Chain A
Amino acid sequence: MTTTTLSRPNVVHIVGETVLDGVRLVGDLTLFFLQLLWWMKWPRGGVIWPIMYQTGVQSLPVILITGGFIGMVLAVQAYDQFAMMGMENQLGTVINVTLVKELGPVLAALMLAGRVGSSMAAELGTMRVTEQIDALTALGANPVRFLVVPRFLACFLLIPLLTIVADGIGMLSGWMFSTKILGVHSFYYWHHSFNFITAYDVMSGVVKSVFFGAAIAIIACHRGFHSRAGAEGVGRAATESFVYSFVAILLIDFLLGTFFMKLYYVLWPGDISMV
């Protein structure tokens, strides 16, 4: 393979380089994921519980706050539009469907990426630059099995629960705000919601979240493992972990959203209740 060094980088050069870097990153992440699968076993010695606590329990406050506000924000934003058409009673439908299918899973994932993902990247990055990861290998403990598997399992298993919590609290706050402040009738609020939301909607949201959780854990651990030296390198690993997770979440959301829509038409052809 020959590479030519250009005296002045031109657009083609820069675009090519960026694309190659992207492809390389995706390839790297895939290999990392395969390694993870290879070493997948329930961690011994209770190492997973503190990680689960950190991932799940300690994320609850921030999930409750964002979920609660997003329910109310949805109510505020949708109310005017619906009132104009005289359809205030339908408010519950739009709030609840949006929450269950989109905002619940995505918000829970973003919070997890920001709170847990970046701290995992920073933690593993510190272990990398202080040679603790080498020390694990030297003492006969596979670092992927020892460090990545428990973190992956924690994200993977807990994110559906966090999503359901975000969904629930968002629904609750949206309902309270709509009925108490905006004066929508509670009976119609729920009546229309239940007519529209299907188990399929809830399920598709939760399934999406599992993919988000897996992506967050893989990206965070990968960035940590490849952290560069020094405080700067570790900080960068944490930032990159969040940015890459963010992009991954939106990308997966788009792909799976499309997939679930298509699947719905395959499973129930002719049904138009899906908006």
Chain B
Amino acid sequence: MSLIDLKHASMSFGPQHVLRDITLEVCKGETLVLIGESGCGKSVTMKLMMDLLQPTKGKVLWDDKPIHSRSAKKISQERLKFGYLFQQAALFDSLTVFENVAFGLRQNKRMAEAKVEETVNGRLRDVGLSPDVVVDKKPAELSGGMRKRVGLARALAMSPEIMLYDEPTTGLDPIMSDVINELILRTRDREQMTSVVVTHDMHTVKKVADRIVMFYPLTRLEPDEPQIIFEGTPDEAFACDDPRVYQFVRGEAGERLTELAAA
């Protein structure tokens, strides 16, 4: 069963076209990884999935029903099934770390304060932060990697059924990256979570992906070429003979160097 469906979705910002005719589904329990070069529209795709943005053309479905066939109230209720780790963490900078992580719980769940505290501390420990040290800090007082992990704790605190991770390991050291990879795997196994992961980190891809979808920037495609240039398992991606795909997963510049030099 598919939890999220993009049906022929296109997205533009004014004159700039970002996504064209994307059809993509996310099935229950899988971990889907989105890759593609910077600026090709991965974050936008994730926002479409959660209805933080609406496609300029096409539709997005939740549980096989178009999102906007529901009432506004229903949409915001169902949106709580999702957790979203924002690329820049997006912590509320007027609130402390504790208030950030507790925000969703206090907004939506009638939960005793002791229980809130327990959940917040637990989630912070999950992401490798020591609650005693960070809870009273403001986001501005944290390092980039710490902010990212607080963002992750905040999303996980709501125990979502579907997690959308936007570059969960970018800006983290290799050890901490692997801690986060393990966390993604652990939450998936323990809570049968469905995950969509945007990443440039091939360790993460190899470790967590059930299925990979690769996007290509519209600006470098012909008008009739599909924007999704690869869909398959990690093994297939590394064995793929499309140079655009294998050079990307192996991190080789290939003819892009000559292309850029010519430009």
Contacts and interface: CB of A to CB of B under 8 A. Distances in A.
Whether chains A and B associate is yes
Contacts of B93: 130, 132
User: Interface majority SS on B: helix, strand, loop or mixed?
Assistant: mixed
A138 B151 CA distance: 12
B145 to A, nearest CB: 17
A139 B82 CA distance: 9
A139 B90 contact: no
Contacts of A131: 86-88, 90
Interface stretch (B58-66, B103-111, B186-194, B228-236): B103-111
A140 interface: yes
Given A130-B88, A131-B90, A139 B76 contact: no
A190 B186 CA distance: 80
B90 A130 contact: yes
Contacts of B90: 130-132, 134-135
Nearest to A142: B76
Interface residues of B, number: 24
A76 to B, nearest CB: 45
B215 interface: no
Nearest to B164: A138
Given A139-B107, A139-B154, A140-B108, A134 B76 contact: no
B84 interface: yes
Interface in A188-212: none
B158 interface: yes
B79 interface: yes
Contacts of B158: 139
B237 interface: no
A137 interface: yes
Interface string B157-193: 0100000000000000000000000000000000000
A83 interface: no
Interface string B79-109: 1101110111011110000000001100110
Interface in A131-172: 131-132, 134-142
A13 B92 CA distance: 43
A137 B53 CA distance: 11
A139 B47 CA distance: 14
Contacts, number: 48
B50 interface: yes
A140 B51 CA distance: 12
A132 B50 CA distance: 15
Interface in A97-141: 130-132, 134-141
Given A140-B107, A140-B108, A141-B103, A135 B92 contact: yes
Contacts of A136: 92
Q: How large is the interface on A (under 10, 10 to 19, 20 to 34, 35 or more residues)?
A: 10 to 19
A154 to B, nearest CB: 15
B239 interface: no
B14 to A, nearest CB: 10
Contact of A140 (B79, B86, B91): B79
B92 A138 contact: no
Given A130-B90, A132-B93, A138 B84 contact: yes
B142 interface: no
Contact of A134 (B86, B91, B104, B108): B86
Contacts of A137: 52, 76, 79
A107 to B, nearest CB: 30
B214 to A, nearest CB: 24
Most chain A C-beta atoms within 10 Å of own C-beta, residue among B76, B77, B90:
B90
Contacts of A140: 76-77, 79-80, 104, 107-108
Interface string B211-252: 000000000000000000000000000000000000000000
Interface in B193-207: none
Contacts of B83: 138
A141 B107 contact: yes
B80 A134 contact: no
A138 B103 contact: no
A47 B103 CA distance: 13
Given A130-B88, A132-B90, A138 B79 contact: yes
A134 B54 CA distance: 13
A51 to B, nearest CB: 11
Interface string A35-56: 0000000000000000000000
Given A132-B90, A138-B155, A139-B103, 20 more contacts: A130-B88, A130-B90, A130-B93, A131-B86, A132-B93, A134-B47, A134-B84, A135-B84, A135-B91, A135-B92, A136-B92, A138-B50, A138-B83, A138-B84, A140-B76, A140-B77, A140-B79, A140-B80, A140-B104, A141-B107
Q: 8 closest pairs, A vs B, by CB?
A: A131-B90, A139-B104, A135-B90, A138-B84, A140-B108, A131-B86, A134-B52, A141-B107
13 contacts: A131-B88, A132-B90, A134-B84, A134-B90, A135-B84, A135-B90, A137-B79, A138-B79, A138-B82, A138-B84, A140-B79, A140-B107, A142-B76
